Structure 1
Amino acid sequence: MEYRKLGRTGLSVSAIGLGTEYLNGRPQDEVVAVVHEAIDRSVNYFDVLFAGADYRDNLGAAFAGRRDRVLITGHIGCAETDGQYRKTRDIAECEELFADLLARLHTDHVDVLMIQFCDEEEDLRAIMAPGGMLELARRLRGEGKARAIGLSGHSVPVALQAVQSGAFDVLMFPVNIPSHGEPGREELYETCLRRNVGLVAMKPFAGGELLQRKEAPTVTPVQCLAYTLSRLGLATTVPGVKSLDELRAALAYLEACTEEKDFTPLLTALNRGTEGHCTYCNHCLPCPASIDIGETQRLLDSAGYGLTDELRAAYRALPAPAGDCLECGNCEERCPFHVAIIERLREAAHLFAS
């Protein structure tokens, strides 16, 4: 494993970390097995996102007895409503959920305290204003409950403002092949490097969308990680996995040869930008109709390569069908990639009803 400095934090992080988003809802024994194998394979950077009790308890069990071998990023600004993700800027709620995170992970601190999902200038101003999220993060750091402060987001202009402010030690940002060449990205990476802000890449597989491709050129996890880790100033990337097989497919990068890492044929074929393309992140939630929008979109994309009985069964198992959409538009307002969610839900409802 290669280790890199995480900006000015003083932390040395594994080039390949682990995003735990897709371990949400998995049985505890599977979560423990994935985390333990990752640690045994020298992964030391773990991103802990959600607020759900079972999710946090499972990770607490996985980190038990191994806390001194891992660096944990914990998020504030992430809550739940009826089991669905919800963004929050309520200071009291964030502090309460952070205390819950420490308790369930059986630790007295996180290594990076990440203010979650900031894509609007107005939100950034509110975060940095007196009494805002940044003030809370600084207080928690002063109390010894965090070692560094970060910000996550998807907007190049807003992220650039945040980095230039000097207020954040770490930036968590999507870095993947489809985003190659997007305006402002190289300036953002260079500014992180110049200002010694640790750059953490999320969504190296574009939420898994890239790995679903069936037509040429097909894409491997190794190629995706090779691209992401080649970006200027990048410290670590946090691929999300939900099983040991997916973890091993990602860690195959460590033994891959130069030819297996070659991503250059993909730059032309997949250089389409991220605008309008769902990465199944569910930042669009909560949905008043209880639709799991991210999973519905994933199944719709998978069905584009052929509608199978397995996909039909997975769709039937969703908490609500796409046809229940109220077309309220809240999801489209929240989506960081400006996906036409309502239209795609109509497509899913029609396709899976056929």
Structure 2
Amino acid sequence: MMDNPFAKKLGFGLMRLPLNNPDDMTDIDRKTLQNMVDVFMERGFSYFDTAYVYGGSEEAIRETLVRRYPRDSFTLTSKLPIFAISTEEEQENVFQEQLQRAGVDYFDIYLLHNVNVENYQTAQKLHTFSFLQQLKSEGKIKTLGISYHDNAELLEEVLSAHPEIEIILLQINYLDWDNPDIQSGKCYEVARKHQIPVIVMEPLKGGTLAGVPKEAEKLFRQYNPDASPASWAIRYAAGLDGVVMVLSGMSTMDQMLDNTAYMQNFVPLNDEEHRIIKEAAAIITANIAVPCTTCGYCLDTCPENIPIPKYFSLYNNKMQTIDLFYYPQQQYYENYTKTYGKASDCIECGACEEHCPQHLKIVDLLKDVAKAFEIPAPHEQTE
């Protein structure tokens, strides 16, 4: 690992990459990604975060980073998808595949991916922590950790039982801090109690905090006309005690240039900025119908091939539309139904909800989506 992999607190999250085809998460625009990697490295940033289930990202970072830069010039993190593994032997097979995909001999940081009550039970059954410790003793991983999506009580249990955990990836943003389901603040406090360094994921809540309602953006711009809404969210997370890195899933060069500009010489939020953040959070919360982060974990489990995140995004946009007689989201929804299942095709199996890090009641929410898009629009109704 580099002498100080956390010298700059902005990490390049590789879950949402530039795409040639926005409907195919594996069709990565490698030319644009390479240019983004170069800007990131040239500006002194060096932390990259990928995972086995981020379609094509391990291979893409091999071509755009690993084969083009000295191994000791960057920090590479990946994750073991315990939720997709059923045998101890499979753990070793997946890990070896990841090394091959990424083109490396070791990972600087390796995380047990998406630890929650179900996945933790699987990890105990498969002796996963012992497996990870063995990888570390062999030098194949330098730092062992977990990414976490559950309540603070379980996190206390996990960290108490496994002192070998050296770092933790938590979902933290100013919208989820007091959320009773996600428990960002409470989980953060547990990590601090155990003195475990924190890496932050979803600081923008899947882009929600980058495209805030106009009223909230006005608050930000009045204080600092040049600061993007995204900068407020990332600086909020980066300023927390014990946070060593904040990941941003950058998918455009503009996002890369903006984020690296204000994080080049990071300055934490002051008291007035914290006050503005709280006011903006109240506005944003009142405008979000479905707090989906578009992570896509629900997609592989849906037997009806329903593009759940896409439908939730359309639904959120429609709910913020003032004109009741025209909303383009309707046409987009109908376009999707020609390829994918409709919201009303949901058979209520609940598989999606088991894999949702946001603990959304997806089955019920899809009923709302169906009501919004599958009944005649007001201008189409007849007497």
SS at match of 1:150: strand
Counterpart in 1 of 2:15? 21
Larger radius of gyration: 2
Secondary structure class of the residue paired with 1:245: helix
Q: Which has the higher contact order (CA 8 A, sep 6+)?
A: 1
Aligned-partner Cα distance in 2 for 1:222–1:252: 10
**Are residues 1:344 and 2:341 paired?**
no
TM-score (structure 2 length as normaliser):
0.77
Aligned-pair identity in percent equals: 20
For the pair 1:159 / 2:155, whether they are aligned, the reply is yes
Q: Compared with structure 1, are the counterparts of its residues 229 and 54 closer, same or farther at alpha carbon in structure 2 (3 Å cutoff)?
A: closer
Tell me how far 1:276 sits from its aligned partner.
Answer: 7.1
C-alpha deviation, 1:147, in angstroms: 0.5
Range with greater deviation from structure 2 (275-284 or 19-28): 275-284
Deviation at 1:118, TM superposition (A): 1.1
Structure 2 unaligned segments of length 5 or more: list them: 18-24, 221-228, 378-383
**Shift of residue 299, structure 1, vs aligned partner:** 2.8
Alpha-carbon spacing, 1:195–1:298, altered in 2? closer, same or farther (3 Å):
same
Residue 180 of structure 1 corresponds to 177
Distance 2:184 2:369 in 1: 33
* Equivalent position of 2:203 in the other structure: 204
How far apart, in 1, do the equivalents of 2:334 and 2:201 lie?
26
- Aligned match of 1:111 in 108, 111, 125? 108
Superposition deviation, residue 263 in structure 1: 4.2
Over 3 Å counting, the alpha-carbon distance change for 1:291 and 1:266 in structure 2 is same
Moved more, 323-332 or 171-180: 323-332
How far apart, in 1, do the equivalents of 2:330 and 2:38 lie?
30
Distance 1:259 1:231, change over 3 A: closer
Q: Which runs of 5+ in 1 are unaligned?
A: 79-85
SS of residue in 1 equivalent to 2:210: helix
Matches within 5 A, 1:249-260: 249-254=258-263
Cα distance between partner residues in 1 of 2:331 and 2:356: 26
Deviates more, 1:15-24 or 1:286-295: 286-295
Residue 154 of structure 1: CA displacement?
2.1
More displaced 10-residue stretch of structure 1: 92-101 or 203-212: 92-101
Contact 1:17 1:239 in 2 (8 A): yes
Match of 1:281 among 295, 308, 311: 295
Match of 2:224 in 1: none
Q: Using the alignment, how far apart are the partners of 1:336 and 1:257 within structure 2?
A: 30
Q: CA RMSD in A?
A: 3.4
1:266 Cα deviation (Å)? 2.4
Secondary structure at 2:206 match in 1: helix
Structure 2 residue 139 is the aligned partner of structure 1 residue 144: yes
Query: Which residue number corresponds to residue 64 of structure 2?
Result: 62
Instruction: Give the 3-state SS of the residue equivalent to 1:46 in structure 2.
Output: strand
Q: Distance in 2 between matches of 1:31 and 1:300?
A: 30
Secondary structure of the residue aligned to 2:216 is coil
**Whole-Å Cα distance in 2 between the matches of residues 123 and 44 of structure 1?**
30
Partners of 1:257 and 1:113 in 2: CA distance: 29
- Mapping for residues 10-159 of structure 1, pairs under 5 Å: 11-23=5-17, 24-25=25-26, 26-51=28-53, 54-63=56-65, 64-66=67-69, 67-77=71-81, 87-120=84-117, 123-128=119-124, 131-155=126-150, 156-159=152-155
Give distance in 1, aligned partners of 2:312 and 2:54.
Answer: 22
Distance 1:241 1:90 in 2: 34
Q: CA deviation at 1:92?
A: 2.8
Q: How many residues align?
A: 339
